[in-house]
């Protein structure tokens, strides 16, 4: 039999061990346990995230710019953004209804989507006429001119510069025809326009002409081209994107819609009525209504189709101080929490010859598990992201410093005037792209699970400050249905 003293000592020792273990666990919970995860053995730390009274584990990479988000201006997030009652402001209307005109003598080999009286710079308003559409590959050696009828009744012709989207040839290629507006300083405004080859006479069959619409006048503000919003995109995703970007300083968003579900379109109507969103319904080429790649399909013809509204959007919004090309599942965020105008002005001051800025992309893969479940929105749920990549990177430009022909993932600086591109360090700002795993990544044996993951809560930290207000707004919007 063991002595009683030994039993007492054992109990004391076990009790002491329990206290020490508890303390260690508390220290680990506070300071983090270094662990190794992922195929590339990146180091992570683990802590406890309390969400609405519920403890949830989260992991984040040991990175100085991920862990601390210093908002330089809390008023950016706490700002009471004008949100009038949806029942009182109506639904607004589409900016234009594309008419999709053919060109005389070309059957379905040239289809025109839109004609825009554009701005070559802030000092030259409506001095170009930009015509967007598709051209068959067999016509690539043609030269063209614009035929423009003015409000005075005069019919004028001017040589056109053709801009192709890519050298990747498909049956029908995205194209833009850029012509000088000869009367931009006389007050005689362009009314309708079409194109013809340089050997053809301009005709007066005006039913074949496109109506000319006008670009926004120059504004010292920020606009976004967001390309397509289509199909089953979630209304919540649009709501979180618009509300956060309004507070970051975006004042105009041009959106092209196609077969959009009723709930998402109801959200868009709200922002359209506020004057923040302009909507344009996208329709496919007349020759191809029943045999075209759907929007969202990834092949060269589909990418050609998507470039047509990009040409249109860039022509319409060239009057803004800064023009971003990002989608509504992409969040451009300064790592210091700066509003866009401050961030872009800082970058412009540091890089005075830049015509625009390319940003690296972190993909928050929504095929991965949710890191948080207390938020009702993707931007608050999916913290885990890839490293900064050039995958589908996007840009913000200063339109005054560009040549025509910018595209989704690149832009054309006016190099003759001394301007260039600048790639922004991921330490300063990145685009956070919330999307599912791409089929291409899996087909290339790069399944998304093989990407090194690190949690980046930059977007989440910003959004959690406004989420209660967003939920209230959501209830008001859908009460108005």
Q: Is the pLDDT of residue 79 over 90?
A: no
Higher-pLDDT residue of 462 and 25 is 462
Give the residue-averaged pLDDT of 258-287. 87
Dig out the tokens for 445 from the structure: 């044996």
Identify the pLDDT of residue 74: 53
Q: Which of 54-63, 106-115, 316-325 has the lowest mean pLDDT?
A: 54-63
Report helix, strand or coil for 145.
strand
Q: Tokens 């309004």 — which residue? A: 246
CA–CA dist 252, 199 (Å, integer) = 41
Residues 185, 190, 193, 196, Cα dihedral to 10°: -30
Q: Is the pLDDT of residue 444 over 80?
A: no
Predicted confidence band at 91 (pLDDT cuts at 50, 70, 90)?
low
Report helix, strand or coil for 30.
helix
Domains and CATH numbers, the chain: 74-87+218-479 (3.90.550), 101-214 (2.60.40)
Predicted confidence band at 94 (pLDDT cuts at 50, 70, 90)?
confident
Phi, psi of 248 (to 5 degrees): -80, -5
- The one-character DSSP state at 142 is -
CA–CA dist 69, 467 (Å, integer) = 17
Q: Is the pLDDT of residue 212 over 90?
A: yes
Q: Is the pLDDT of residue 161 over 80?
A: yes
Q: How confident is the model over 117-140, as pLDDT tens digits?
A: 987 776 777 888 999 999 998 998
Q: What is the 3-state secondary structure (H, E, C) of 67-118?
A: HCCCCCCHHHHHCCCCCCCHHHHCCCCCCCCCCCEECCCCCCCEEEEEEEEE
pTM: 0.80
Q: Which of 32-41, 172-181, 452-461 has the lowest mean pLDDT?
A: 32-41
Q: Which of 19-28, 97-106, 152-161 has the lowest mean pLDDT?
A: 19-28
Q: Cite the DSSP H helix spans in 250-395.
A: 262-274, 300-316, 340-350, 378-381
Identify the pLDDT of residue 229: 86
Return mean pLDDT, the chain: 78
Predicted confidence band at 447 (pLDDT cuts at 50, 70, 90)?
low
Identify the pLDDT of residue 351: 97
Q: Is the pLDDT of residue 440 over 80?
A: no
Percent of the chain at pLDDT exceeding 70: 73
Q: How confident is the model over 372-427, as pLDDT tens digits?
A: 888 999 999 999 888 898 777 889 999 989 888 777 778 889 999 999 999 999 99
Q: Is the pLDDT of residue 263 over 80?
A: yes
Q: Is the pLDDT of residue 290 over 80?
A: no
Closest alpha carbon to 376 in 438, 307, 460: 460
Q: How many C-beta neighbours within 10 Å does residue 52 have? A: 8
Higher-pLDDT residue of 78 and 230 is 230
Task: Go through 244-279 and write b for each residue having 16 or more CB atoms within 10 A of its CB, e for each that does not.
Answer: bbbbbbbbbbbbbbbebeebbbbbbbbbbbbebbbb
Identify the pLDDT of residue 345: 97
CA–CA dist 221, 388 (Å, integer) = 28
Closest alpha carbon to 315 in 46, 99, 126, 63: 126
Maximum Cα interatomic distance, the chain, rounded to a whole number of Å: 117
Q: Is the pLDDT of residue 472 over 50?
A: yes
Predicted confidence band at 358 (pLDDT cuts at 50, 70, 90)?
very high
Q: Is the pLDDT of residue 106 over 80?
A: yes
Q: Is the pLDDT of residue 371 over 70?
A: yes
- Which residues is 156 bridged to in the sheet? 148
């Amino acid at each position: 039999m063991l002595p009683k003293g030994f039993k007492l000592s054992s109990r004391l020792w076990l009790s002491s061990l329990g206290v020490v273990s508890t303390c260690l666990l508390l220290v680990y919970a506070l300071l983090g346990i270094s662990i190794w995860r992922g195929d590339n053995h990146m180091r992570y730390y683990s802590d406890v995230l309390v969400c609405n009274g519920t403890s949830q584990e989260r992991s984040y990479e040991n990175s100085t710019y991920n862990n601390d988000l210093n908002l330089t201006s809390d008023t950016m997030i706490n700002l009471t953004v004008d949100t009038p009652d949806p029942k009182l402001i109506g639904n607004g209307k589409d900016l234009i209804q594309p008419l999709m005109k053919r060109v005389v003598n070309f059957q379905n080999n040239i289809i025109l989507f839109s004609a825009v009286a554009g701005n070559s710079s802030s000092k030259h308003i409506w001095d170009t006429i930009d015509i967007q559409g598709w051209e068959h590959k067999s016509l690539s050696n043609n030269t063209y001119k614009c035929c423009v009828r003015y409000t005075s009744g005069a019919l004028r012709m001017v040589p056109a510069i053709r801009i192709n989207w890519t050298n990747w040839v498909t049956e029908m290629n995205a194209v833009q025809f850029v012509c000088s507006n000869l009367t931009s300083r006389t007050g005689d405004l362009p009314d309708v326009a079409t194109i013809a080859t340089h050997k053809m006479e301009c005709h007066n069959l005006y039913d074949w002409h496109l109506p000319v619409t006008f670009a926004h006048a120059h504004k010292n503000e920020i606009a976004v081209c967001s390309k397509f919003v289509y199909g089953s995109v979630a209304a919540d995703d649009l709501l979180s994107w618009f509300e956060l970007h309004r507070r970051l300083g975006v004042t105009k968003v041009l959106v092209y819609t196609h077969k959009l579900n009723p709930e998402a379109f109801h959200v868009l109507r709200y922002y359209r009525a506020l004057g923040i969103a302009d909507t344009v319904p996208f329709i496919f080429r007349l020759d191809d209504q029943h045999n075209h790649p759907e929007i969202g399909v990834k092949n060269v013809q589909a990418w050609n189709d998507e470039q047509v509204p990009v040409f249109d959007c860039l022509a319409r919004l060239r009057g803004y101080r800064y023009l971003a090309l990002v989608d509504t599942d992409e969040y451009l965020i300064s790592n210091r929490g700066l509003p866009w105008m401050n961030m872009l002005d800082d970058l412009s001051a540091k890089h005075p010859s830049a015509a625009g800025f390319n940003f690296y992309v972190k993909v928050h893969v929504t095929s991965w598990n949710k890191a948080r479940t207390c938020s009702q929105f993707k931007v608050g749920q999916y913290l885990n992201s890839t490293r900064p990549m050039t995958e589908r990177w996007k840009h913000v430009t200063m339109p005054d410093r560009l040549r025509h022909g910018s595209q989704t993932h690149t832009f054309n600086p006016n190099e003759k005037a001394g301007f260039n591109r600048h790639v922004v360090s991921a330490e300063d700002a990145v685009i956070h792209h919330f999307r599912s795993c791409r089929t291409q990544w899996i087909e290339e044996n790069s399944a998304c699970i093989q990407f090194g993951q690190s949690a980046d809560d930059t977007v989440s930290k910003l959004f959690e400050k406004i989420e209660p207000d967003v939920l209230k707004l959501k209830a008001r919007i859908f009460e108005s249905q």
